[in-house]
A = this chain, B = another copy of it.
Amino acid sequence: MWRSPTCRFRPSSASAPAWPSRPNGCWTQPWPRLCWARQRASSAGTIRSTASPCGRRPAAKRCWSGACARIRPARTGCCCGSRPTSCALRRRTPFVSPWGASGSTTETGVATFRFALEYDGADFCGWQVQAEGTRTVQGTLEAALQQVTGATARVTAAGRTDAGVHAERQVASVTVETGLDPDRLGRALNGVLPHDLTVVDCAAAPDAFHARYGARSKLYCYRIWNGASASPLRRARCYRVAPPLDVEAMRKGAVSLLGTHDFTAFQAAGSPVRSSVRTLTRLDVEGSPRGEIGLWVEANGFLRHMVRNLAGTLIEVGLGRREAASVAELLKSRNRQRAGPTAPARALTLVRVDY
């Protein structure tokens, strides 16, 4: 049976403490005043569990990306104050993969995987799971995972894209119980996924990997079609701006946005976050008037609708409706009311995530 370097087996009753559980197998409250920092299968297949008292609260980053956070339940607070993350759901009975595990099927393996995903966002209501019946990327992928592995698992994305936003290489992580190796899991998922969502790459991830909180930077591209007439072949992935754009003015306006700033002015209204400070490392305006123009935006993180609000503001600069120099003042004002409109989602693509 394939086993990732960080594969964690369900401990036997002899080696494990009496863990409280919900009927569906999810860890729940009351939570013991212990954080399970590591559970690793030794070469002999036994479990080594290390308990750490809450008094030794791990650093926030460590808690998010380590095994400590991942084995705690979703949507319940942790005794040690750090936020919970996805729950590694565990089955009570050994799972026999329909694709055939290469090893014993009486053992069950929980492993972490890292997916690279490509999707056409046109027919998805964004990444995040919503009410039943709403088609989302996360929901579609989780349904496919359940179909392939038989296990219920929560997939986490590097960036939760809006409805209509595409991805060339979105990164997602999941901890799931399966006997499939990464290559077979990726191919099995592609066998059941719809045509507008594909697993480009599936790899075993370190136990500490978390797609969202481990991401160092993300690159988005916002595409504008500035032709004199509409372009049917670009319509699905470009936003058409009919009057000719002053690309040089857009470039000048973009310069003042580079660096570390408080981007409250470009954040969707009513999006509470701890900090609106982000570091923009790239904001290139590529292309020329009466052609296709691409806004390439890279940062260590993005606020909600941030790229689309940046695009809407720079388009106003290109149309001569606001001065290039005014963008710096707008940034300082931290006033969303003063920024440009939110540009349409269909022209935005998540190009790459770096770790």
- A residues contacting B by CB (< 8 A) are 118-120, 166, 168, 186, 190, 195-201, 227, 229-233, 235-237, 349
Does B232 lie within 8 Å of A118, measured CB to CB? yes
Q: Which chain B positions have C-beta within 8 A of A186?
A: 229
CB-defined A-B contacts under 8 Å, sample of 8: A118-B231, A120-B232, A186-B229, A190-B230, A195-B235, A198-B231, A200-B227, A201-B229
Measured in the bound complex, the distance between the Cα atoms of B229 and A199 in whole Å is: 7
Which chain B residues lie closer than 8 Å to A233 at the CB level? 118-120, 166, 168, 237, 349
Using Cβ atoms and an 8 Å threshold, which residues of chain B touch A199? 229
Task: Count chain B CB atoms within 10 A of each CB in A200, A227, A237 and give the residue with the most.
Answer: A200
Q: Bound state CA distance, A349 and B198, in angstroms?
A: 25
Interchain CB contact under 8 A, B229 and A198:
yes
- CB–CB A195/B118 < 8 A: no
Cβ A232 vs Cβ B190 within 8 A = no
A279: shortest Cβ distance to chain B, in Å? 28
Pairwise interchain contact B195-A230, C-beta atoms closer than 8 A: yes
A306 to B170 Cα, complex, angstroms: 38
A237 partner residues in chain B, CB cutoff 8 A: 233
Q: Are A195 and B120 in contact (CB under 8 A)?
A: no
A235 to B119, CA, bound (A): 10
Taken together as a complex, chains A and B put the C-alpha atoms of A186 and B227 apart, in Å, by 14
Whose C-beta in chain B lies nearest to the C-beta of A196?
B232
Name the B residues within 8 Å of A200 (CB-CB).
227, 229
Closest to A168 in B: B233
Docked complex Cα distance between A327 and B118 (Å)? 36
By a CB distance below 8 angstroms, the chain B residues around A232 are 118-120, 195-198
How far, in whole Å, are A190 and B118 apart by their CA atoms in the complex?
33
Assembly CA distance A233 to B351 (angstroms):
12
Which residues of B have CB within 8 Å of A197?
Answer: 232
Query: Which of A120, A227, A230, A237 is packed against the most chain B CB atoms within 10 Å?
Result: A230
A28 to B237 alpha-carbon distance, docked (Å): 48
Cβ–Cβ contact A198 & B230, under 8 A: yes
Min CB gap A292→B, angstroms:
13
A233 (CB) vs chain B CBs: closest residue:
B120
Cβ distance A179 to chain B, nearest Cβ, rounded Å? 22
Bound CA span A197–B229, Å: 11
Name the B residues within 8 Å of A201 (CB-CB): 229
Q: Which residues of B contact A236 (CB under 8 A)?
A: 236
CB neighbours (8 Å) of A349 from chain B are 233
Distance A232 CA – B197 CA, assembled complex (angstroms) = 6
Least Cβ–Cβ distance between A182 and chain B, in angstroms: 13
Which residues of chain B come closer than 8 Å to A190, judged between CB atoms?
229-230
How far, in angstroms, from A230 to B191 measured CA to CA in the complex?
11
Give the CA-CA distance A148 to B200 in the complex, in Å. 48
Query: B residues within 8 A CB of A166?
Result: 233
Docked pose: A229 CA to B117 CA in angstroms: 10
Chain B contacts for A227, CB-based, 8 A? 200
Question: In the complex, which residues of chain B have a beta carbon less than 8 angstroms from the beta carbon of A231?
Answer: 118, 198
In angstroms, how far is the closest chain B Cβ from the Cβ of A352?
Answer: 14
Question: Which residues on B sit within 8 Å (CB–CB) of A119?
Answer: 232-233
Closest B residue to A194 by CB, please name it.
B232
CB distance from A353 to the nearest CB of B (A): 16
A306-B168 Cα distance, complex, nearest whole Å: 33
